[in-house]
């Protein structure tokens, strides 16, 4: 009799928990922590994307302000399971010391207990070794405070080589080469797959056939974009050079038209003008130029925009009031 009651209680508990178990095991949640580029803007922080799936929290790039955006979400910095880098341009990596060392502090916002895992293209390991040297005073003092070697300050960094794939808890992360510039041979994009769903992060790239190859069948593509006003393109060699390292809205539109994602989202948004009295293109300009080539679902990202991928794609804007502004896209 007693074991029957216990069985019934366990069954009820299981049924209560099923929706939560299902929610955790069938969704990829992508949050744009920073949608900007090198511009020291308060509205758009540096490039960084949080991907949550299967209980893992993975960060892709760590630009300016990634730590602040994580803490706006009330995610302790120490909860990041691994950091993946697309390339080593400073706007993509300047937030690493903050994520890494503030994450070592045993306060609510830090609390890392294990070494930070970092994966990136050729040069990543060397960069992290250099950072460890630069911050050796801080690391040594913290070890003295704790009276032991501070394992949370240790970094395990890996230079990604051909054939590298990261897999854990049924999440698969596949890096692939993109085309940032003729003299950069190590810029990466990433394909992240979980529970039958997938998201592509383009990284910094010009129009890239390899990006298209890896993006076929993806549910969501997060793509970089750059545009300048007409006057700048006619007069500024610097702006033309910058545009040459990135994708125009038409380039990205071609990628979307060929790969047909359920949703395309712009991030790493570069809007240029050579003359402060003449405004740069607007986000509406990005949309209208893209739509000349691609007529599927498209959004211009903003910091802390969250995209939940399952049978439906649910996009939520962050609100400091705690209210979600939900919008079902597809
Ligand atoms: Zn960049
Ligand atoms: Zn770059």
> Which pLDDT tens digit goes with each residue over 267-300?
999 999 999 899 999 999 999 999 999 999 999 9
The helix, strand and coil proportions of the chain, stated in percent and rounded to the nearest 5, come to 35, 25, 40
Cβ atoms within 10 Å, residue 106: 13
Let me know if residue 159 belongs to a domain.
yes
> Which pLDDT tens digit goes with each residue over 119-145?
999 999 999 999 999 999 999 998 888
Choose among 247, 195, 187: nearest CA to 221.
247
Query: Mean per-residue pLDDT for 251-271?
Result: 98
Cβ atoms within 10 Å, residue 312: 11
Distance 10 CA to ligand 1 centre (A): 51
Distance 47 CA to ligand 1 centre (A): 7
Q: Is 43 exposed, middle or buried (0-12, 13-18, 19+ CB in 10 A)?
A: exposed
Distance 14 CA to ligand 1 centre (A): 46
Let me know if residue 271 belongs to a domain.
yes
Distance 99 CA to ligand 2 centre (A): 20
Distance 86 CA to ligand 2 centre (A): 8
Q: Beta partners for 117?
A: 156
Let me know if residue 15 belongs to a domain.
no
**DSSP-derived pairing of the beta strands 28-34 and 306-309:** antiparallel
Residue 50 backbone phi and psi in degrees, to 5? -100, 130
Residue 165 backbone phi and psi in degrees, to 5? -140, 135
Distance 205 CA to ligand 2 centre (A): 8
Q: Which ligand is nearest to the CA of 245?
A: 2
Q: Which ligand is nearest to the CA of 178?
A: 2
pLDDT higher than 90, residue 304 = yes
Let me know if residue 18 belongs to a domain.
no
pLDDT higher than 70, residue 39 = yes
Distance 204 CA to ligand 2 centre (A): 5
> Which pLDDT tens digit goes with each residue over 157-181?
999 999 999 999 999 999 999 999 9
Let me know if residue 304 belongs to a domain.
yes
Choose among 23, 49, 9, 11: nearest CA to 204.
49
Query: Mean per-residue pLDDT for 246-256?
Result: 98
Q: What is the CATH number of the domain that holds 73?
A: 3.60.15.10
Let me know if residue 316 belongs to a domain.
yes
> How many whole angstroms from its chain centre is CA 4?
49
pLDDT higher than 70, residue 191 = yes
Let me know if residue 12 belongs to a domain.
no
Distance 188 CA to ligand 1 centre (A): 12
> Which pLDDT tens digit goes with each residue over 82-124?
999 999 999 999 999 999 999 999 999 999 999 999 999 999 9
What domain range includes position 267? 29-328
Distance 15 CA to ligand 2 centre (A): 48
Q: Which ligand is nearest to the CA of 87?
A: 2
What's the domain count of the chain? 1
pLDDT higher than 60, residue 254 = yes
What pLDDT, on a 0 to 100 scale, did the predictor assign at position 6? Answer: 57
Let me know if residue 221 belongs to a domain.
yes
What pLDDT, on a 0 to 100 scale, did the predictor assign at position 320? Answer: 63
What pLDDT, on a 0 to 100 scale, did the predictor assign at position 243? Answer: 96
Q: Which ligand is nearest to the CA of 188?
A: 2
What pLDDT, on a 0 to 100 scale, did the predictor assign at position 321? Answer: 57
Q: Which ligand is nearest to the CA of 94?
A: 1
């Amino acid at each position: 009799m007693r074991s029957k009651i216990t069985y019934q209680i366990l069954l009820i508990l299981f049924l209560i928990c099923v929706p939560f178990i299902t929610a955790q095991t069938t969704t990829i949640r992508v949050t744009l922590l920073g949608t900007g580029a090198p511009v020291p803007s308060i509205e758009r922080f540096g490039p960084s994307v949080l991907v949550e799936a299967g209980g893992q929290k993975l960060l892709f790039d760590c630009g300016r302000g990634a730590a602040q955006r994580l803490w706006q979400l009330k995610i302790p910095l120490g909860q990041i399971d691994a950091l993946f880098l697309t390339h080593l341009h400073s706007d993509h990596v300047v937030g690493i010391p903050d994520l890494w060392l503030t994450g070592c502090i045993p306060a609510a916002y830090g609390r890392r207990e294990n070494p930070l895992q970092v994966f990136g293209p050729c040069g990543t390991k060397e960069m992290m070794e250099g950072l460890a040297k630069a911050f050796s005073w801080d690391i040594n003092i913290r070890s003295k405070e704790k009276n032991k070697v501070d394992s949370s300050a240790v970094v395990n960094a890996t230079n990604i080589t051909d054939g590298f794939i990261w897999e854990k808890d049924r999440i698969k992360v596949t890096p692939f080469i993109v085309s940032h510039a003729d003299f950069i041979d190590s810029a990466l994009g990433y394909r992240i797959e979980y529970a039958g769903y997938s998201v592509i992060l383009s990284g910094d790239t010009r129009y890239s056939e390899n990006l298209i190859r890896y993006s076929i069948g993806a549910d969501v593509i997060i793509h970089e974009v750059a545009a300048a006003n007409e006057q700048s393109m006619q007069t500024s060699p610097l702006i033309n050079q910058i545009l040459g390292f990135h994708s125009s809205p038409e380039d990205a539109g071609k990628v979307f038209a060929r790969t047909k994602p359920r949703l395309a989202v712009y991030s790493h948004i570069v809007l240029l003008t050579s003359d402060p009295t003449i405004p740069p293109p607007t986000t509406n300009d990005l949309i209208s130029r893209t739509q000349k080539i691609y007529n599927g679902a498209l959004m211009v990202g903003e910091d802390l925009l969250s995209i939940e991928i399952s049978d439906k794609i649910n996009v939520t804007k962050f609100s400091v009031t705690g209210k979600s502004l939900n919008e079902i896209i597809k």
